[in-house]
A and B are shown apart, each in its own frame.
Chain A
């Protein structure tokens, strides 16, 4: 791939779930008004955040682990073609079949053909971001195959005809009363006296799912890791439902983004410490499932691995943005993000929400399709501090903002209003005289706010967005420069 004269393509439009229907500020405005959502999210993120902080603090070598994780990922991305080829041969040698999918449409087509070939109308699924990304469930439904989510939270989302709002806890926006209501409405076989006790809800889901595990012929999963050296795939989870899917059906189809590679088995030592502590705030996750090709007489007897690009090569081509591919999908950045905590995941439009989504989604789709996401951050830096592989998210957000304005400028002859304002500001600031006059000119603002001593609501564009909720100080009578000249005049 490298060395080709054209830029690698982004994830195509019209398929998958990487693009929202509206801009972030508009979607966020609605989410912010949802008091139930605010309460659910505030409670859940605060709890996970505290748990994470506690288990991370236990490790004296946490910073070294983060650095090791970062370096392993950077190294892997730098040698991705080689490691992918190595993974392909290792998987093939152990009886698996490797497929390459350029994009979401191709990946969906491969899965649909495989599932149809088995003559089934139902498949069970392990929680997987890649399949959410490409819209696999919708593609299967279109050919009459029901894809049953078996992760409890994904099941809640699916039964609620809803979309995931968090990478790890896709139903984080729901509380237990809402879940009970969804189960009563959507589970045909549910006990009508079901309460909203967590154990009762889990019990209802278990009963609902168990029959499906036993009857399913085909399972579909994603992968947390793919080990190039051995051809081993790995899924980490909490419930064990994933392991049911990975072991009971005859056929297993795994869809893995090409960035999920690690070079060696030994590298898991680092990631299996980083991931559970960062994601669920556990020292170790309850279930870690590993499988290598096909083992005769044990587990699925047919294994397909679909390696998904869908814009990833395009991300890799941007030296300043490619670290977004290092993400191990722990969601720590979502849980600490003050923006995510208040707006929830749906506001981001893409299946990848929060800080990581704000740098990943626009790169996968091309910046113009998710242009509002890099601005959905106050650049507070909390995400960078918790990232287990040290992705400098604020820096990439700033990089993508520049990419957006520069792409816009290259494609339009007339500059945007914002670009004109920024150029004008730069022009003023490029001259001390102009700057001094501009500051003095601010005194005109003293005409406002005389009554209360502060400037209240100003119904003009931009001023309105500020003064809607915040008073503005009246400009000073004397600027600092004029004070300095009067007090220290001539002194340099």
Chain B
């Protein structure tokens, strides 16, 4: 859905000297299935994840909720439907699976990734990053180190944006009411962009901002960290102008 986020993640990691692989056999972590109540259907996805990534030193995902699912839900599914061997396997893989900011700050010990992003930005700590993974201020540390970036605090930042996976569809009215408040908070900051570590929440917030022609948009943390003086993120390029406020992938 959002190839720019994946590309940006690869760019940042490679710039920091990491050897990045993308095993084409990977598909999805299965969070949507588990959270909607289809645990058994998630089993093949859990097995696939554990198999495909077993050989790597670290697994990095630019998504707090996907990492949350791997860390907290895969073992539940394995215990319920899989073999004891699978439980061990998923626990081993989960232990080396990191959300991007965790990997950069905790594993690589880096906060300044050499990024350049001359914009006014506010940060939304997505619920799963905040309360499931407890990433704390790691994304903030990374953002503070970005050259030329003006970071403004988001009021009521810890409030859910209202995405919640299939919640956004099943309870769309409540989801929209939550979104309305989140958009107001974002706009109150006067930021050009709201960033976060989850494309799904950004798709929701960005989609709402675009709908009301708010003049603010969303961008993934990885995209900010990937931008440099030599290879900046160019906004408002004529042929891209319209796409810019659509969501994280549209910011080029």
Contacts and interface: CB of A to CB of B under 8 A. Distances in A.
Nearest to A492: B21
Contact of B174 (A342, A473, A478, A479): A342
A141 B163 CA distance: 44
Contacts of A456: 211
Contacts of A13: none
Nearest to B243: A453
A114 B204 CA distance: 57
Contacts of B160: 338, 378, 380, 382
B167 A379 contact: yes
Given A32-B174, A470-B208, A479 B3 contact: yes
Contacts of A159: none
Contacts of A32: 173-174, 177
B28 interface: yes
B79 to A, nearest CB: 11
Contacts of A483: 3, 6-7
A429 B131 contact: no
Interface in A413-439: 418-419, 422-423, 425-426, 429-432, 435-436, 439
A83 interface: no
A277 interface: no
B17 interface: no
B33 interface: yes
Interface in B12-30: 20-28, 30
A432 B91 CA distance: 23
A342 to B, nearest CB: 5
Q: Indicate the size class of the contact surface on chain A.
A: 35 or more
Given A398-B35, A418-B36, A432-B25, A470 B250 contact: no
A24 interface: yes
B128 interface: yes
A318 to B, nearest CB: 14
A405 B162 contact: no
A453 B246 contact: yes
Q: Indicate the size class of the contact surface on chain B.
A: 35 or more
A429 B45 contact: yes
Contact of A379 (B164, B206, B250): B164
A241 interface: no
B250 A453 contact: yes
Nearest to B164: A378
* Most chain B CB neighbours (cut-off 10 Å) among A24, A342, A379: A379
A402 B162 contact: no
Interface stretch (A97-105, A143-151, A290-298, A460-468): A460-468
Contacts of B167: 375, 377-379
A381 B7 contact: no
A348 to B, nearest CB: 12
A466 B168 contact: yes
A476 B249 contact: yes
Nearest to A30: B173
Contacts of B26: 432
A183 interface: no
B210 to A, nearest CB: 4
* Most chain B CB neighbours (cut-off 10 Å) among A425, A475, A481, A492: A425
B29 to A, nearest CB: 9
A491 interface: yes
A401 interface: yes
Interface in B226-252: 240-250
A367 to B, nearest CB: 10
A362 to B, nearest CB: 12
A475 B36 contact: no
A484 B243 CA distance: 23
A339 B163 CA distance: 12
B158 interface: yes
A474 B171 contact: no
B175 interface: yes
A492 B56 CA distance: 10
A452 interface: yes
B249 A473 contact: yes
A381 B127 contact: yes
Contacts of A380: 127, 131, 160, 164
Given A453-B241, A471-B246, A475-B1, A376 B171 contact: yes
Contacts of A385: 131
Interface in B176-210: 176-179, 203-204, 206-208, 210
Interface in B122-146: 127-128, 130-132
B84 interface: no
Interface in A347-404: 374-382, 384-385, 395, 398, 401-404
A443 B6 CA distance: 17
Contacts of B164: 377-380
* Most chain B CB neighbours (cut-off 10 Å) among A380, A384, A425, A483: A380
Contacts of B39: 402
Contacts of A468: 172, 176
A25 B172 CA distance: 8
Contact of A384 (B2, B25, B131): B131
Contacts of B244: 453
Contacts of A453: 240-244, 246, 250
Contact of B211 (A25, A395, A432, A470): A470
Contacts of B250: 453-454, 473-474
CB-CB nearest 8 A-B residue pairs: A453-B242, A378-B164, A470-B207, A401-B37, A380-B160, A381-B131, A480-B3, A405-B37
Interface of B: 1-4, 6-7, 10, 20-28, 30, 32-42, 44-45, 48, 72-73, 127-128, 130-132, 158-160, 162-179, 203-204, 206-208, 210-211, 240-250
Given A381-B130, A476-B249, 14 more contacts: A32-B177, A339-B174, A342-B178, A375-B170, A398-B37, A398-B73, A405-B36, A430-B27, A453-B240, A465-B168, A465-B169, A469-B208, A471-B247, A474-B250
23 contacts: A374-B37, A376-B171, A376-B174, A378-B160, A378-B162, A395-B72, A422-B32, A422-B38, A429-B27, A430-B48, A454-B242, A454-B245, A465-B170, A468-B172, A470-B203, A470-B208, A471-B207, A471-B208, A476-B3, A479-B3, A480-B3, A481-B22, A484-B6
Interface of A: 24-25, 28-29, 32, 338-339, 342-343, 374-382, 384-385, 395, 398, 401-406, 418-419, 422-423, 425-426, 429-432, 435-436, 439, 442, 452-454, 456, 462, 465-466, 468-476, 478-481, 483-485, 488, 491-492
